[in-house]
Amino acid sequence: MSAPAKREFLYELWDRNWDDGALGDYVVLQHPVTPITARRIYFTYSNGRRGFVDRQKIEAEGEVYHGYTRRRLHLTEPELPSRPQPVSLPELKRQMADAHPDRGGTDEAFIAARARYTRALAK
């Protein structure tokens, strides 16, 4: 029995919380490469839909923006970005104090800072 053929992929950095805002919960999706021609690399999305990218461009740059689906595809597996650290309660309290109108801030800035502080406090 022969060894299975090595499978090639195009990779996509996907934020699982894309519809809830930029929370940075990234995963790497693998899209199997189907035929490779001299001009194009064909691949299949996880939903079964097929697409292609310009082979020369992706091999030269390492990644390409696939405009039809509005996704950035990579030739090699991209590194996961680090998650932003949540702001600490003392820092939020300081920001709220700095935004107070008595300290030169505006009403809107203070209300927004106080809302961030109370949300963090509730967690």
User: What is the secondary structure of 33-85 as a DSSP string?
Assistant: EEEE-SSEEEEE-TTS-EEEEEHHHHHHHSEEEETTTTEEEESSPPPPPPPPP
Average pLDDT, stretch 43-58? Answer: 90
The structural domain count of the chain equals 2
Do 32 and 58 reside in the same domain of the chain?
A: yes
- Evaluate whether residue 80 is within a structural domain: no
Whether residue 104 sits in one domain with residue 68:
no
Q: Which domain holds residue 66?
A: 9-74
How confident is the model over 86-108, as a mean pLDDT?
A: 90
Per the model's pLDDT, the better-predicted residue between 46 and 100 turns out to be: 100
Q: Which residue has the higher pLDDT, 2 or 39?
A: 39
Residues 54 and 108 in one domain: no
Same domain? For 117 and 69 the reply is: no
